[in-house]
Amino acid sequence: MPSATGNKRVRGISVFRPFVFGSEAQLFDPERKPENAPPDHTHQWRVFVKGVNGEDISYWLKKVQFKLHETYAQNVRTIEQPPFEVTETGWGEFEIQIKLYFVPESGEKPQTLWHSLKLHPYGPDAEAKRERREVVVSQNYEEIVFNEPVDQFYDLLTGGPSPAPPGVKGKGAKGGKQALQQRSGRSAEIPLHESPQNPYSRTAENKELDRLAEANRTVDQMIKEEKERLVEREKKLAALRESEGVPATTKKR
């Protein structure tokens, strides 16, 4: 089917791009409250959409619309270039609607995300964090998947022309998707290790996968033990029935 841009789609290909969205907030320093902040405001905060490890994502993300709570003047804020973020002051937490608009070449419709703005520390040592006026970070790693992108957008995403259709050979020996991706540096690679500015890495992902596998093993063990207990109880019940002379009928529920 022809796309909105009249471009052909790259069949059978999905391209994903990672990004991070979320917020950072901090209680005002009582000595240095921002001058223009209304008296009832207590925090400064920032909501953002950015590349993992600060990578530039503007080659696929055209603009971001942040819809703040109605208590804010001009609560719909559209950011047309990076950094895609809004800095504000306030007193309350609320849900922020984040609408991602893709570059026009993509022919893709905008996508909406929601983020809960967090102002107050949470977790086990929330009180100590509050006293230290620690920055409250609430952010998520996300991946956007472009299924069968149109040719032109595929080129933009990867930094090279679409792969030749099956059976059609490229011109040079060095042609092909891989070489072009390396040349342009446009790929979905995330760093191997985390850094103070960026917690998302292959190592962190592997740790999380190990944690999930461990949790799965724990749940499997719990199910096994529960089943064994059930078998034991059923045996006990059958023995009691027999000793009390109750017929061993199983009622249908």
Interaction site with ligand SLL (CB under 6 A) = 38, 69, 71-72, 90-94
Looking at the Cβ atoms of 20 and 27, the one nearer to ligand SLL is 27
Cα→Cα distances 125→45, 93, 120, 140, 244, Å: 21, 20, 12, 21, 57
Decide whether 34 or 104 has the Cβ nearer to ligand SLL. Answer: 34
Strands (E) across 37-94 are located at: 43-50, 61-67, 76-79, 84-90
Cis check for the bond before 83: say yes or no (omega within 30 of 0): yes
Of 90 and 160, which has the nearer Cβ to ligand SLL?
90
User: Hey, is 192 helix, strand or coil?
Assistant: coil
Q: Residue-wise over 45-74: b if at least 16 C-beta within 10 A, else e?
A: bbbbbbbbbebebeebbbbbbbbbeeeeee
- The smaller minimum CB distance to ligand SLL, of residues 126 and 212, is found at 126
Shortest Cβ 67–ligand SLL spacing (Å): 13
How far does the chain reach from its first CA to its final CA, in angstroms? 53
Compute the least distance from the CB of residue 21 to ligand SLL, in Å: 19
Residue 71 beta carbon to ligand SLL: minimum distance, rounded to whole angstroms: 4
Min dist CB 92 to ligand SLL, Å, is 3
By beta-carbon proximity to ligand SLL, the closer residue of 34 and 92 is: 92
Task: Please state the closest distance from residue 23 (CB atom) to ligand SLL, in A.
Answer: 13
Instruction: Answer yes or no: are the C-beta atoms of 68 and 81 closer than 8 Å.
Output: no
Helix (H, G, I), strand (E, B) or coil at 207: helix
User: To the nearest whole angstrom, how small is the minimum distance from the Cβ of residue 140 to ligand SLL?
Assistant: 21
Comparison of 75 and 218: residue with beta carbon closer to ligand SLL: 75
* Paired tokens of 219: 């749940």
